[in-house]
């Protein structure tokens, strides 16, 4: 397994060059790929893309490589797996930069992730999102995009949901923000203000959480109550720098399988793979994380039906949305809920408020 070393300010320069190049030279187009249909409607064929961190070449094109390998993987998911829904990993446009607190990395944030009307004649749009919208439209796929978002003076860890016709359906902002050695996200991201969201797409209703969100059953249940047919979790999880012997990957799988089983909804996680080495300003090793990979797809009972092999991999599975809806209804889990008894969930310490 190759490792990838990065120095924050150097990668920021690479990313800025990549952004400029994308404006001047958008990704090449190709003939449209026909969608897979069932009675005139596209099936839900979900693919999880797992990408191994690229080897460090010391080149100024690192950020360009991150984008291009993700772009090619999406095309491969459609061409080789027949996917109509493709999930990329969390913050796929670069290394997991939250290993440290470095103010230079705020330059990686993207603004204008929707369309902003400047005047009646001109509209401005984020070049990365518009490139992915064009890709989704050409391939006829639903494509959630994980991105570091800037909104004025606020910064979020966000997912933009792109539908199969290329339209931007809106944004979900990560609700639960971790803070620990190697995962110092509270320095970069504010807690999301969108609430949990379910997007109505060409292939079904899609709920999406982001990494740390996946440890909270309340998030999965909320999206299930909102009618989700599938739950997606772009992810960056690996070793703990303070204790490299700690391996939480089995625990991570089990908690997610529980979300699927308790809600009778398939769950998909796309994680990164490989060792990412943070360098200090003198390019000496400061810290490193070995990301697990082990991306997976469950069925509606929580059983893992596909798991990625080590390295870069794409896994896929077909979800029978209508059958799952009928099975979920007949099982009675949502019929027999007692929301009036769950008010304790609105407290931090389990104490019920006085009437």
State the catalytic residues: 90, 174, 211
73, 236, 15: which is closest to 6 by C-alpha?
A: 15
Residue 174 and residue 196: Cα distance in Å, rounded?
9
Tell me the β-bridge partners of 140: none
Q: Where are the alpha helices (DSSP H) in the chain?
A: 8-24, 62-81, 127-139, 217-225, 249-263, 321-331
- Identify the burial level of 255 via C-beta atoms within 10 angstroms of its C-beta, where 0-12 means exposed, 13-18 middle and 19 or more buried: middle
Strand pairing category for 198-201 and 183-184: unpaired
| Side-chain half-sphere CA neighbours of 112 within 13 A | 11
**DSSP structure string for 124-159:** E--HHHHHHHHHHHHHT-BEEEEEEEEETTEEEEEE
Q: Which of these, 198, 300, 185, lies nearest to 237 by C-alpha position?
A: 185
How many C-beta atoms lie closer than 10 Å to residue 76's C-beta? 16
Of 234, 227, 255, the closest CA to residue 325 belongs to 227
Cα–Cα distance measured from residue 244 to residue 285, given in angstroms and rounded to the nearest whole number: 15
Residue matched to tokens 């958008």: 26
Is residue 290 within 8 Å of 274, Cβ to Cβ? Answer: yes
């Amino acid at each position: 397994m190759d490792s990838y070393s990065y120095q924050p300010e150097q990668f920021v320069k690479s990313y800025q060059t990549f952004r400029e190049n994308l404006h001047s030279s958008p990704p090449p187009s190709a003939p449209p790929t026909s969608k897979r249909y069932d009675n005139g409607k596209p099936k839900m064929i979900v693919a999880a893309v797992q990408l191994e961190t690229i080897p460090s070449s010391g080149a100024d094109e690192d950020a360009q490589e991150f984008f291009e390998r993700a772009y090619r993987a999406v095309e491969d998911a459609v061409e080789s797996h027949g996917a109509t829904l493709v999930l990329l990993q969390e913050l796929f446009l670069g290394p997991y930069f939250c290993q440290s607190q470095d103010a230079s990395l705020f330059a990686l944030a993207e603004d204008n992730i929707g369309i902003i009307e400047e005047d009646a004649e001109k509209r401005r749009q984020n070049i990365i999102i518009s490139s992915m919208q064009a890709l989704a439209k050409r391939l006829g796929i639903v494509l959630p995009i994980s991105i570091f978002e800037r909104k004025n003076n606020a910064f979020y860890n966000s997912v933009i949901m792109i539908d199969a016709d290329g339209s931007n359906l809106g944004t979900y902002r990560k609700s639960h923000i971790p803070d620990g050695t190697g995962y110092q996200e509270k320095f970069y991201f504010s807690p999301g203000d969108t609430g949990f969201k379910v997007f109505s797409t060409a292939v079904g209703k899609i709920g999406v959480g982001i990494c740390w969100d996946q440890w909270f059953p309340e998030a999965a249940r909320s999206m299930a109550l909102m009618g989700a047919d599938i739950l997606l979790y772009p992810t960056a999880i690996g070793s703990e720098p303070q204790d490299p012997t700690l391996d939480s990957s089995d625990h991570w799988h089990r908690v997610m399988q529980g979300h699927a089983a308790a809600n009778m909804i398939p769950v998909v996680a796309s994680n990164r793979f490989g060792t990412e080495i943070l360098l200090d300003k003198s390019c000496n090793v400061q810290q490193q994380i070995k990301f697990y990979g082990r991306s997976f797809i469950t069925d509606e009972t929580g059983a893992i039906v596909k798991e990625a092999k080590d390295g870069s991999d794409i896994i896929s599975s077909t979800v029978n949305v209508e059958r799952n809806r009928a099975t979920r209804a007949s099982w009675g889990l949502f019929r027999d809920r007692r929301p009036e008894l769950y008010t304790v969930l609105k407290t931090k310490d389990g104490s019920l408020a006085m009437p």
